Amino acid sequence: QVQLVESGGGLVQAGGSLRLSCAASGRAVSSYHMGWFRQAPGKERAFVAGINWNGGNTDYTDSVKGRFTISRDNAKNTVYLEMNSLRPEDSALYYCAAGQRFYIGLPTNPGSYDYWGQGTQVTVSS
């Protein structure tokens, strides 16, 4: 089993930055694809960013391209999401996810991920 714990969320003004971290334990996730999702009240959980096992391939939802950066440090079993130029519409509960099944390309469907964290709240004020 893999346990994922997110941290780094908080309240920030529009235009500000946050860095989310996702620490994995229980098993090394160096061979897993990893992803960040977010869920705002009344909305479905949505893909934000994904990264393959060695960091050589990343993907982002269109609304965060150029503002968010996903990265990973397999030696630390940790994945990061650097968020810049934050907007009020980025406010949500952010979840980290890990997937061990093989896919061609990075999956964006939550069902393609096997393990989830509890989430960290990001609130962007206008």
pLDDT in tens, 27-65: 999 999 999 999 999 999 999 999 999 999 999 999 999
Q: CB burial class (10 A; 0-12, 13-18, 19+) of residue 89?
A: exposed
| Encoded tokens for 14 | 């529009």
Residue entry with tokens 């964006």: 108
Q: What angle do CA 26, 32, 33 make, to 5 degrees?
A: 130
Residues 85-124 pLDDT 10s: 999 999 999 999 999 988 888 899 999 999 999 999 999 9
The answer to whether residues 20 and 8 touch, using CB atoms and an 8 Å cutoff, is yes
Distance CA 26, CA 24 (A): 7
**Over 90: is that where the pLDDT of 16 sits?**
yes
Kindly report the backbone phi and psi dihedral angles of residue 88, in degrees, each rounded to the nearest multiple of 5, phi listed first. -55, -35
